[in-house]
Amino acid sequence: MSRSSSRALLALTFILIAGGLLVLNLGGYLQAAEGMALRPLGALQGWLSQRVTAIQTLLTSPTDLATLRAENLRLEAEVARLERELIAVREQAAEAEVLAGLLGYARTRPESRYVAARVIGQDISPFIRSVWIDRGSDGGLQQGMPVVTERGLVGRVAEVYSTIARIQLITDPQSSVNVRLQSSRADGALQAQLNGELWVEAIDQSASVTPGELVLTSGLGGAFPSDIPVGQILTVRKRDYELFQQAVVQPSADVENLLVVLVITNFQPLAPPGAP
Amino acid sequence: MAYVAGTVVMALLAVVQSSLLNRFPFLNGTANLILLATVSWALTGRVTEAMLWAFFGGIFLDLLSGAPFAVSSMALVAAVYLASLTEGRFWEAHPMAPLGVMAVASLVFFALTMAALWISGHPMDLALAMTQVVLPSAFLNVLLALPSSQLAGRVREAAFPPPVRMG
C-alpha cells in the first residue's frame, strides 16, 4: 500500500471514529465522559481566565488610582441600581394604564434567587456565541435557567456539568427571546445575527415604535421571567408592504465583555432552550 | 511519546483558545491554534502524529464549544490530510507554501464546520459568515502560518534530528 493511500485510510479511520462519537453524543451516551473531561479543562480555564483578566486590568487601568477605581465601581453599581429602579417604575406605570379596569388587583412577583458565577471562557466556535461559567449542577444550576447581569438579560443555561456550565448568549443566532417594548406595549421576538446584532422581529405594523424605547422580556412562552431589561431600540425598519416591522436593539448588558453573571435559580422555564 | 505529548499540548491550546484568544477577535474571527499547530506539524512530514493530534485537538475544541461533538475533529483531520498531500510536490519546499496550505486548510475546516452546524439546525447566514468569520479567521491563520510552520520545523529538528551516517 502506498504512503498516500495509507494516509487516506488513516484520515478516513479518524473521521469514521469521530462520526461514531458524534452519533454516540447525539444519543446522550457521552454525557458522563464529557463531564469528566471538562472537570480538569474547566479548572484550567478558570485558572488561566483569572490570570488573563488580572493582566488585562493591570494594562488597562491606572495602577495608582485604586481608590478612584473602587469609587467608580461603587458609583457604576449605584447607577445600574437606579436605572433598574427607573425601568421598574416606568414599567409599573405602563402596566397600571393597561390594567386600569382591574381595580384591587396588584401584580406580585416572587423575589428571584441568584447564583453568581464567574465567566471562565468563551465558545471556541466563532459561529456560536456562548460563554462558560464556573458553576454547574453542584451549585444548583439547571438547563434553561435565565442568566442576567445587573444591567439586564444575558442568556440562558444551555449545558450543565457538575462544576461548569455553558451559557447561550442572547447574541447567539440560535437564541430567541420573546420581548415586549415598554412604551408601545408591542410584542416581538428577539433574534441575533451572526455578527452579534440584535433584531426584534414580528412587531405589529400598527405599533408606534420609537428609537430609545426599552425592550423587556415578555415572559411569553415561559422561557424567561417577564420584565427583565434586554436593551434599547436603536433604529426601526417599517415598510408598508411588509406584515411586521423590525427594530435593531442595543443590548443592556455588555455581553461581549462579561466577567461575572447571575443565574436566576428559582425560575423554572417551560420551554426547552432554543425554543422561542 | 510524541502522541501523548502532542495530545496534552492540544488540550492546553484548546484552553488558551477559549480563555485568551477568543477575547481578541478580528471582526468576529480568531486564529485557530490547533489548526495552525496540526497543519504546521503535517508540513514537517510527521503526518500520522499530526492526524492524531488533529483528532484529539478537535475533541478538545468541541468539548469547549456548543458545536456538535466531534465535528471539529473531522474538519481538522480532513484539513491535515489535505496538507499532507503537498508532500513530494515540486513546490513543497517553497518558503511561501505554508501560506497557501493554511489558506486552503482554513477554508476546508470552516466549510465542514459550517455545514455541520447548518445540518444541526444552527441558523447560518452565508454572506455574514464569510465576511465576519471565515475570511477574517483564515486571514489570521495565514498571517500566523509562517511563524507557526517555522516553529514546527525547529521543534521537529530538535525532537527528531535526522539520522547521521557514520563513516
Q: Is the pLDDT of residue A98 over 60?
A: no
Interface of B with A in 138-167 (CB under 8 A): none
Give the pLDDT confidence of B71-83 residue by residue, as tens digits: 999 999 999 998 8
Nearest CB to A41; choose among B58, B64, B68: B64
Residue A18 domain-assigned (yes or no): no
Q: List residues bridging with A146 in a β-sheet.
A: A156
For A208, the domain range is 176-253
What SS3 class is residue A125?
coil
Residue A26 domain-assigned (yes or no): no
How many Cα atoms are found within 13 Å in the side-chain-facing hemisphere of B102?
29
Total domains, chain A: 1
Interface of B with A in 80-99 (CB under 8 A): 80-81, 84-85
List of residues 6+ apart from A227 with CB closer than 8 A: A88, A91, A109, A216, A217, A219
**Domain spans of chain B, in order of start:** 2-154
CA nearest B65 in A: which residue?
A123
Residue A217 domain-assigned (yes or no): yes
Query: Phi and psi for A260 in degrees, rounded to 5?
Result: -130, 140
**Residue A257 per-residue DSSP state:** G
Q: Is the pLDDT of residue A66 over 80?
A: no
Strands A165-169 and A176-181: unpaired
Let me know: does A117 contact A135? Beta carbons within 8 Å.
Answer: yes
Beta-sheet strands, E only, within A123-228 = 130-133, 146-149, 152-160, 165-169, 176-181, 187-192, 198-204, 214-217
Interface of A with B in 112-171 (CB under 8 A): 120-128, 130, 132, 158-159, 166, 168
What is residue A247's predicted lDDT score, i.e. its pLDDT? 93
CB atoms within 10 A of CB B127: 8
Give the CATH number of domain B2-154; options: 3.30.310, 3.40.50, 1.10.3470, 1.10.1760.
1.10.1760
Give the pLDDT confidence of A143-170 residue by residue, as tens digits: 999 998 878 899 999 999 988 999 999 9
Let me know: does A246 contact A237? Beta carbons within 8 Å.
Answer: yes
Q: Per mean pLDDT, which of A251-255, A262-266, B51-55, B67-71 is the most reliable?
A: B51-55
Encode chain B (167 residues) as per-residue pLDDT tens digits: 778 888 899 999 999 988 888 777 777 888 999 999 999 999 888 899 999 999 999 999 988 888 888 899 999 999 999 888 887 665 566 777 889 889 999 999 999 889 988 888 888 888 888 988 899 999 999 999 999 988 998 898 888 887 776 65
Residue A193 domain-assigned (yes or no): yes
H or E element that contains B14:
helix B2-19
pLDDT category, A271, cuts 50, 70, 90?
low
Q: What is the CATH number of the domain that holds A206?
A: 2.40.10.350
Residue A242 domain-assigned (yes or no): yes
Q: Which residues of B61-74 are buried (b: 16+ CB within 10 A; e: fewer)?
A: bbbbbbbbbbbbbb
Contacts of B71 in chain A (CB under 8 A): 18, 22
Residue A259 domain-assigned (yes or no): no
Distance CA A199, CA A219 (A): 18
Is B73 within 8 Å of chain A by CB? yes
CA nearest A161 in B: which residue?
B63
Let me know: does A110 contact A251? Beta carbons within 8 Å.
Answer: no
Residue A71 domain-assigned (yes or no): no
Task: Measure in Å the smallest separation between the Cα of A87 and chain B Cα atoms.
Answer: 31
Interface of B with A in 41-60 (CB under 8 A): 47-48, 51-52, 54-55, 58-60
- What ipTM goes with this model? 0.81
Q: Do B23 and A193 touch (CB under 8 A)?
A: no
List of residues 6+ apart from B96 with CB closer than 8 A: none
